[in-house]
Amino acid sequence: MTVKGEKKKKTIKTIKIDVDKCNGCRACEMICSAFHAAPKYSSNNPARSRIRVIREPLKDVYVPVYAGEYTQAECAGRDKYTIDGKEYDECAFCRASCPSRSEFKEPDSGLPLKCDMCEGEEEPLCVKWCSVDALSYEEREEEVEEAVEQEQLETGLESLANKYGLQQIMDTVARMSQKD
């Protein structure tokens, strides 16, 4: 059910990607994985990065892609783009952590990775480290109905319930509320 609520200000954070400027250096992958290492900056491994650069040097194709939402099932149909005569592979622009590919999964546990815009930092580190300005950061304020957030909450709960079972989610919530 959708309940309309008060309007709230929300900050929308965007990273603009200029694929024509990207040279495939992978500095963005390095700094992202180092920032998210535990302890911070103790190691770097692009496989743990929340940005991956789809690289096909022979076709001069370099596409930085940010990790988005986790999805349980791959799409039934896939997309394929040709832009300015360059053909991009299936799913090249997709941000999902999806069972059909290895990107955006923590290598040891297989848990999905998602870009958090470098929470706590003034500016995303991948943007800072891109020496050719292929990435640029923008922020804007938008007014949103609270009901939109309610829908997002329900979608998140539904995917957790699908993954772990409703009873396990309810037991966990009951356990957490007893801790207070």
Contact residues toward ligand SF4 (CB under 6 A) are 22-28, 31-32, 35, 50-51, 53, 62, 64, 66, 115-118, 124-126, 129-130, 132, 134-135
Please give the full DSSP string across 152-176, using - where no structure is assigned. HHHHHHHHHHHHH-HHHHHHHHHHH
Residue 122's identity, in one-letter code, is E
CA 141 to chain centre: 20
Our CB check for ligand SF4 shows the closer of 98 and 115 to be: 115
Our CB check for ligand SF4 shows the closer of 2 and 14 to be: 14
The secondary structure of residue 37, as a DSSP letter, is: S
Query: CB of 38: closest distance to ligand SF4 in angstroms?
Result: 14
Our CB check for ligand SF4 shows the closer of 62 and 88 to be: 62
Our CB check for ligand SF4 shows the closer of 107 and 165 to be: 107
Query: CB of 74: closest distance to ligand SF4 in angstroms?
Result: 22
Query: CB of 88: closest distance to ligand SF4 in angstroms?
Result: 15
Query: Is 51 within 8 Å of 121 (Cβ atoms)?
Result: no
How many CA atoms, within 13 angstroms, populate the side-chain half-sphere of residue 4?
0
Query: CB of 133: closest distance to ligand SF4 in angstroms?
Result: 8
Please give the full DSSP string across 71-134, using - where no structure is assigned. -SS--SS----EETTEEPPTTTT---B-TTSSTTB-TTT--B------TTSSS-HHHHH-TT--
Query: CB of 126: closest distance to ligand SF4 in angstroms?
Result: 3
Our CB check for ligand SF4 shows the closer of 31 and 91 to be: 31
